[in-house]
Each structure stands twice: as C-alpha cells, then as structure tokens.
Amino acid sequence: MCDSWLVFENFLANMGEPPPNMSIDRIDPNGNYEPGNCRWATHKQQTANRRPFKQIGLRGERNSKAKLAATDVEQIRALKGILPQWQIAQIFGVNQSNISQILAGKTWVCDTAPDPVPAFDAVGATMTSPW
C-alpha cells in the first residue's frame, strides 16, 4: 500500500466514497494498493480480475490448493483497521472467517514477529500501532 494512503483522508481524497455494492479492486492484481491502480468494482469484476492462485506459502511450502500467498497475507494485515473484514475477504476471494483467523494470528503464523503495520483509530484519522 502506498504511504500516502496510511492517512485515511488521503485515501478518501483519492478514491472517494465506495459506490453501493462495490469494493476496492486493484486494476493490476500484482500491483500495490495505490492511486492509479485502484478502482471501485463489483464482485463479478473483481472475480474476473483475480490473479492465479499462488503455490508458495509463508514458510516456502508448496500447496496447489492455497488461495493466499505470503504477500497476500501481508497485504491483509496492512488493511487491518482500514477496511472491514468482509471487504478484505471480497478483495482476496476468501471468507471473512479466513480474514479473522489471519488477523487474530491463528493461521499464517510467522516464526518471527512481523514488523508493526500502522492502523487507524475508530475515527480513521489518527495512526495507532496494532501491537
């Protein structure tokens, strides 16, 4: 995610409010969440825009049925506090319960602690650390 979007007002100024029944989508699914690569899209548009499933897990293991790669999990953790879990789930094509498990540290657990990712407080204006 681009640094300017770590301030909610910048994200809102770039993207505006989400239209009904739409959520954020990356135009290039391999690119970052940043101005010029994001749009509001329907679930159908997002499904058509998905990248192929990754096969390498967090510790380097191969799993042809895995829907998420380590980079996806990093992005999910970066979106904590910015988007609701249901919307993060839509973006990555998994259930909200998968997102909840990842954010709670019950799945995709690292051998080492991740670097702190800034999060927004309830107002969406002030940066706080989730750790």
pTM (predicted TM-score): 0.40
Helix, strand, coil percent content, the chain, rounded in steps of 5? 35, 10, 55
Average pLDDT over residues 67-75: 83
Residue with the bigger pLDDT between 47 and 97: it is 97
pLDDT at 111 over 50: no
User: By the 8 A CB rule, do 23 and 87 touch?
Assistant: yes
Q: Which domain holds residue 48?
A: 3-128
What is the number of domains present in the chain?
Answer: 1
When pLDDT is cut at 50, 70 and 90, the band that residue 84 belongs to is: very high
Closest CA to 29 of 92, 78, 80, 90: 92
Return the pLDDT at 65: 56
Strand segments (E) across the chain: 23-26, 38-41, 119-120, 127-128
